Structure 1
C-alpha cells in the first residue's frame, strides 16, 4: 500500500522539489489497490485540474469552487 508520508513529500516539496506528477502516479498505484484515501486524493487532483481549466475559460462556478478550496483565481 501507499506510504502516505512519501506522497506528502512529493506534494509539498519536503526533502526536494514539489513533484505533482510523482504524487499523482503514487496515488494512482495505490488507488488501483483499493486504498480509499488515495482514491479521494486522486479525485481531488482531477477536480482541481478541471476546475482550473474551466475557470480559465470563464466558468464562474469553477472559479467559485477554487476560491472555496483556497486557490487564487
Structure 2
C-alpha cells in the first residue's frame, strides 16, 4: 500500500520558519537593538552583564549569528 503525503500549506508561512525564541530572549534582543550597548541593556533589564551575555550566546545559537558581526554602536 502506498501512502500519500499531503504538504501542509501552513508550513509555507514565513513565520513558521523562524527559530523559536522565548519572550525573554526577544526582550533582550530588542532592548540591545534599541540601546546598542551591553552595559546599558543589562542595566535597563535589571540583570547582570554576564547574565545578558549568557542569554545572548543562547540567542546566537538559535539564530545562527554572532554578535561580533552585528554593529552595535554607530561610527562617529
Same fold per TM (> 0.5)? Answer: no
Bin of the TM-score, shorter chain as denominator length: 0.3 to 0.5
Higher relative CO (Cα under 8 Å, sequence separation at least 6) belongs to 2
Q: TM-score, normalised by structure 2?
A: 0.34
Question: Bigger radius of gyration, 1 or 2?
Answer: 2
Q: TM-score, normalised by structure 1?
A: 0.35
Higher helix proportion (structure 1 or 2): 1
